A and B are shown apart, each in its own frame.
Chain A
Amino acid sequence: MSGLRYIDDVVTLKLDTGKCTGCRMCTMVCPHAVFEPAERTVRIADRDRCIECGACARNCPEGAISLKPGVGCAAAIINGWIRGTEPSCDCG
């Protein structure tokens, strides 16, 4: 099922290779193999596979990864639009 892909060129994932120390934790926690080892750091192998779950950023001890993590469900986004907030599953 690696053939299943979503929209290209939209995700907010950013990697600051200057901060990366090459611990490779991100390659372990990413569920879609977005990162791959490079010489002394990592690099983004396939950015469009990223689902912005945020596992890499949370587990990067150097803070080299940034993204806007979020809830990927349509109803949450509609909630956010209606209330002018970030997407949220809670009815509040």
Chain B
Amino acid sequence: MSECCPPSVPCCGGGGGYSDTFEYGPQPFELGEAFTIAGPVPVVATALAREDRAEARRVRLNVGRDRSRVRPGLYAVGAPDDTSPVLVTGNYRLSFDAVRSAIPGLDAWILVVDSRGVNVWCAAGKGVFSTAEVVRSIRAVHLEQVVGHQRVILPQLAATGVAGHEVRAQTGFGVTWGPVRAADLPAFLSGGMKASPEMRRVRFPLAERAKLIGVELSVLWRPRTLAGVAALIAVVAALDWLAPAIATPLALAGIVAVLSVVVGSAVVPLLLPWIPGRMFSVKGAIAGAVLIGLALAAATSGRFPLYAWGLLAAGSALSAFVAMNFTGSSTFTSPSGVEWEMRRAIPAQVAAAVMGVALFVFGLWIAR
């Protein structure tokens, strides 16, 4: 599940803290330097190297994601001159890598603004990829000395935080809204800087949903979760010796808890269009009830004792809650809609969880 706060991870991607004091590591994608009137500019590779892919894998598993940043400033791709296009992006490593790897063989400038290591869309939504930040970046690199034209190409998704007409008023550089996806940059640039309607649409296909589940699931490999699992295993092992009747239900409770998180943060995202319901919590409750029900039926050899019904209710409530949190990572949910859903879903989730736990305890008590 995506959590806003600990550990310094915002709702939807990367970073958090301000980059003023951030210590940038080595940038292995830099090949050399190009010389401009405004000073030397690093030339960067357009091919992704093995370490770039390893970095992407780590970030997708939420390991070191808030440290995956590129030093803000101007970069060169190919051999750009004063007529070359200026592509603006954020300093989240995956955003920068998406841009440079999309334009092999082209000559262009990449202006990296300090989006605090957050991807373009989320940074724009949070107000850090802002008009002020773009204006500051243009001035900081003396862009007017580097290029003779007065045009910067911004990713369309930055429009949430950047007012194009204000950037022009403050810097003289007009904003052209580029495509949503960096992969469409070559077609956009060769097509006279015109984006097709499809280039302007945000979609949410299976491949993109699949990329998100590592971060969604990363709650499972947090130290606190691992410690909890270890403690539960120890308790179950001790009970197995002291009170064997309780050991199995308790072990099943742990398995159901993990399964609920997996359903809410992986199964629902992957099967999103095919699970019934508009509300994410409804999708989570349905998928949770089916999968947890099957797992419990298998684990109890189809007997399904009373405590298992309790686990089914509580587990479905948990997967509904976790799935509801995926709204923050999805691309088609409105805040008004999320609040509307939460006002209806959370009371039901709490009721089901309380009822489930009560049923579980009562079921164990009568089975003594």
Q: Which residues of A are in contact with B by a Cβ distance under 8 Å?
A: 1-8, 10-12, 25, 28-33, 49-56, 58-59, 61, 68-79, 87-91
How many chain-B residues does the 8 Å CB contact rule pick out? 52
B3 lies within 8 A of chain A by Cβ: yes
Indicate if the CB atoms of A12 and B273 lie closer than 8 Å. Answer: no
Q: Are A76 and B272 in contact (CB under 8 A)?
A: no
> Which stretch from B20-28, B323-331, B350-358 is at the chain A interface?
B323-331
Q: Which of B6, B10, B197 contacts A33 (CB 8 A)?
A: B197
Interchain CB contact under 8 A, A89 and B197: no
30 sampled A-B residue pairs with Cβ under 8 A: A1-B203, A2-B201, A5-B278, A6-B332, A7-B340, A10-B340, A29-B156, A31-B157, A32-B202, A33-B197, A50-B334, A53-B121, A53-B160, A54-B125, A56-B159, A58-B159, A58-B161, A58-B162, A59-B162, A59-B165, A69-B125, A70-B335, A71-B126, A72-B327, A73-B11, A75-B325, A75-B328, A76-B4, A89-B5, A91-B6
Closest B residue to A28 by CB, please name it: B177
Q: Which residues of B contact A51 (CB under 8 A)?
A: 331-334
Q: Say yes or no: is B95 at the interface (Cβ < 8 Å to chain A).
A: no
Q: Is B187 an interface residue (CB 8 A)?
A: no
Which secondary structure characterizes the binding site on chain A?
A: loop
Chain B interface residues (CB < 8 Å from chain A): 2-6, 10-12, 121, 124-126, 156-157, 159-165, 177, 180, 195, 197, 200-205, 272-273, 278-279, 324-325, 327-329, 331-342
Whole-angstrom distance between the Cβ of A26 and the nearest chain B Cβ: 9
Interface contact A73-B278, CB-CB below 8 Å: no
Q: Are A72 and B335 in contact (CB under 8 A)?
A: yes
Contact A73 B331 (CB under 8 A): no
CB distance from A29 to the nearest CB of B (A): 4
**Are B342 and A74 closer than 8 Å at their CB atoms?**
yes
